[in-house]
A and B are shown apart, each in its own frame.
Chain A
């Protein structure tokens, strides 16, 4: 694994995280490949996201609908919208196969809406599809450290 690939992948992860914190959702949607999958599983050890229950299992349609929900002004749980700041670190290139780079990272996210700051920690796995000079996001799996414990309601995208 080259340092350059680590830098390129990390730059992509940071860009993606920055877009989500700034709620630049339409730019975020454009980061994805059409067959991309965004998943937040209930069981942090889950590998079969289709035959198990997740908090989110979003294909392209559901990602678009989720963004509409978060920005459409019809949802009382995102009015006002939460503010988030996330740190993405401990980035590791896990491997590359057939033009898909698998990356793992740590994500610490702080959120404020109206009742104080809440924090979450997650191990996030990305599959980045090489596309021209950059990447398209093909899979993002957010494994919350407390995924199988009670959650509070979520008005943002991890």
Chain B
């Protein structure tokens, strides 16, 4: 890697193969270097992660004043904290004095952020409240000039996003048609607010975009997840037979896309009179026992398994059937993934336990699904060490692709979502 200062425009820097960045994404393929070039990775952190809306939290993770979680925007550590006015602030986790992090917990509750090094203390909105022994500064330290740096923060349906780019379009416009899919996703509260309830964190030795692609890739499911499919009943296996379902993938613009694998589970408030699937009969009986009226039983049971779609929001968050998938790039060939389990806040314990057990069944490092995904992604990163000037094909479903009011649409196993993501990647990298 070159020793250029970080503030040069990285998108214009020639990469290893001396190709221009603009030539690396074609309508039907992307160049291998997108997975392998460290210079390109550095450029992405600036050109993408510092120039778009990046997901940082679901509001249920910081329910009350003083509740915080630590996260990242690109490679920069941030604190997401709710203040006494109820507003959620996203603050760079760096003391303005000599740079130490002011918060190390993954989540918690605090009255203030106190730097462990010299004791500078900051309020929930980032303002510098006090410094020990201020006399030495005389009148040279204007505290109002040294708050924790605050990022522009907006949210939709409890999804909190932050950005370094002050003049970016509002989150509402950035999400565009993805908003209605977020709203559909939140119906899995079954009439209760959706609540984040625990996170599986794992890493795999591969580029972050390999995972990004996977979220709208129904094509891999019957191949990679054979052992999961063998562990469920016949009826469930049929529901998960995505390639045999009349689903679709739709590119929603701005890099976002949705993969509808189980069309009958798009709107969880609809079709409440459908028969209850066998695997949820015991839950339905338990809810009836607790005295829930039949309509509520059906609503909760229908919501308990999550939605029938994966919504990919570029660059780092997915509303994936029943959980949030968060992407955190670590290095060109290493990625951290969080699978955040969701429950119904204040909902029946039996339903929430069912949701947690379903999450454990597929997700996480010991799930019946995730480890096989991880193996496949690792194999991609190993494989692309060969044929360094070859291309990654994302042309599946092109012949059947049609234009819709929201974007482009093709069959359930089309790579339409990936093409949309790479179009946005290219736009940001060459802006």
- Kindly list chain A residues whose C-beta atoms are within 8 Å of the C-beta of B379: 76
Interface residue? A68 (CB, 8 A): yes
- Kindly list chain B residues whose C-beta atoms are within 8 Å of the C-beta of A43: 198
- Kindly list chain B residues whose C-beta atoms are within 8 Å of the C-beta of A22: none
How many chain B residues touch A (CB < 8 A): the figure is 38
How close is B395's CB to chain A, nearest CB, in angstroms? Answer: 24
Given A65-B231, A69-B227, A53 and B202 contact (CB-CB distance below 8 Å): no
Closest residue of chain A to B359 (Cβ to Cβ) is A53
In the A-B complex, list the 8 residue pairs whose CB atoms are closest, starting with the nearest.
Answer: A53-B198, A77-B371, A153-B371, A75-B227, A77-B375, A74-B226, A151-B365, A74-B227
The answer to whether A74 touches B230 (Cβ under 8 A) is: yes
CB < 8 Å neighbour of A75 from B203, B205, B226, B361: B226
Complex CA gap A56/B367 in Å reads 7
Interface residue? A33 (CB, 8 A): no
13 inter-chain pairs at a CB distance below 8 angstroms, sorted by A residue, are A40-B366, A51-B352, A53-B198, A54-B360, A55-B200, A72-B230, A75-B226, A76-B224, A76-B379, A151-B365, A152-B365, A153-B370, A154-B366
How close is A109's CB to chain B, nearest CB, in angstroms? Answer: 14
Interface residue? A155 (CB, 8 A): yes
- Kindly list chain A residues whose C-beta atoms are within 8 Å of the C-beta of B341: 53
Interface residue? A148 (CB, 8 A): yes
The answer to whether B203 touches A55 (Cβ under 8 A) is: no
The answer to whether A55 touches B230 (Cβ under 8 A) is: no
B314-337 Cβ-contact flags toward A at 8 Å (1 or 0) = 000000000000000000000010
The answer to whether B349 touches A51 (Cβ under 8 A) is: yes
How many chain A residues touch B (CB < 8 A): the figure is 31
Closest residue of chain A to B370 (Cβ to Cβ) is A153
How close is B214's CB to chain A, nearest CB, in angstroms? Answer: 14
Complex CA gap A154/B201 in Å reads 12
Interface residue? A42 (CB, 8 A): yes
Interface residue? A149 (CB, 8 A): yes
Interface residue? A57 (CB, 8 A): yes
- Kindly list chain B residues whose C-beta atoms are within 8 Å of the C-beta of A155: 371
The answer to whether B349 touches A72 (Cβ under 8 A) is: no
Complex CA gap A55/B364 in Å reads 6
The answer to whether B368 touches A65 (Cβ under 8 A) is: yes
Complex CA gap A76/B371 in Å reads 8
- Could you tell me the dominant secondary structure of chain A's interface residues? loop
The answer to whether A68 touches B230 (Cβ under 8 A) is: yes
Complex CA gap A123/B250 in Å reads 47
Complex CA gap A153/B369 in Å reads 10
The answer to whether A53 touches B200 (Cβ under 8 A) is: yes
Complex CA gap A69/B362 in Å reads 12
The answer to whether B230 touches A153 (Cβ under 8 A) is: no
A-B contact sample (13 more), CB < 8 A, given A51-B353, A148-B106: A40-B366, A42-B198, A42-B199, A51-B352, A53-B198, A56-B366, A69-B227, A76-B224, A76-B372, A150-B202, A151-B201, A152-B204, A153-B370
How close is B140's CB to chain A, nearest CB, in angstroms? Answer: 41
List CB contacts (< 8 Å) of B356-405 with chain A: 356-357, 359-361, 364-368, 370-372, 374-376, 379
The answer to whether A72 touches B371 (Cβ under 8 A) is: no
- Kindly list chain A residues whose C-beta atoms are within 8 Å of the C-beta of B231: 65, 68-69
Complex CA gap A151/B367 in Å reads 12
The answer to whether A75 touches B349 (Cβ under 8 A) is: no
Complex CA gap A54/B358 in Å reads 11
The answer to whether A150 touches B336 (Cβ under 8 A) is: yes
How close is A118's CB to chain B, nearest CB, in angstroms? Answer: 12
A55-78 Cβ-contact flags toward B at 8 Å (1 or 0) = 111000010011011001011111
Complex CA gap A68/B229 in Å reads 12
Complex CA gap A75/B106 in Å reads 32
- Kindly list chain A residues whose C-beta atoms are within 8 Å of the C-beta of B364: 55, 151
Complex CA gap A86/B349 in Å reads 37
How close is A11's CB to chain B, nearest CB, in angstroms? Answer: 27
